């Protein structure tokens, strides 16, 4: 089942660092940011994780939970999280269930070879579990600020609708 903007997320459940489970309903009532990245400890992914880390308090203040998602295993995630002192949890999608559900697995060319990789993407889910916005194939510089701005405007929209 694929995801669609302005529709509820399909059912899913995944394990994250900190011994928690994340599902399509585990954070209802809270805005959720899911950012998919190719691999722990690579330059672009490290930069992106540090930028989410540095803005984390702003996300929390705006009512959002942040989760990084990659195909790395839990040990890799625990090490990456500790090394960068990340205040948010990382989801280990080793079987690529979430990656396929969110449509982020893409064919890439690396060193002249075709490989399947994760397209750097971020998804903003509102307090009712509905996909509000998505960014695909993004570049790291300026992205986290853009997501934070979207979270703040979503929070304002929700207040106005209440």
CB 16 within 8 A of CB 90: yes
99 among known catalytic residues: no
Which candidate in 34, 45, 49, 99 is catalytic? Answer: 45
Beta bridge partners of 21: 15
- What whole-number distance in Å separates Cα of residue 100 and Cα of residue 95? 9
Could you say which DSSP state residue 102 is in?
A: T
> What Å distances lie between residue 125 and 31, 90, 141, 148, CA to CA?
6, 17, 22, 13
Query: What's the length of the chain?
Result: 162
Question: Mind telling me the catalytic residues?
Answer: 45
């Amino acid at each position: 089942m694929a995801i669609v903007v302005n529709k509820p997320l399909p059912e899913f459940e995944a394990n994250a660092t900190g011994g928690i489970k994340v599902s399509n309903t585990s954070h209802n009532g809270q805005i959720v940011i899911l950012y998919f990245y190719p691999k722990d400890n690579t330059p672009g992914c490290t930069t992106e994780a540090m930028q989410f880390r540095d803005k984390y308090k702003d996300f929390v203040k705006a009512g959002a939970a942040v989760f990084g998602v990659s195909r790395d295993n839990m040990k890799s995630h625990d090490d990456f999280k500790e090394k960068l002192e990340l205040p948010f949890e990382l989801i280990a999608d080793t079987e690529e269930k979430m990656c396929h559900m969110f449509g982020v697995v893409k064919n890439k060319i690396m060193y002249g070879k075709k490989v399947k990789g994760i397209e750097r993407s971020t998804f903003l889910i509102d307090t009712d579990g509905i996909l509000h916005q998505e960014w695909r194939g993004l570049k790291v510089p300026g992205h986290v600020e853009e997501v934070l701005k979207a979270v703040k405007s979503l929070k304002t929209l929700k207040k106005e609708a209440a």
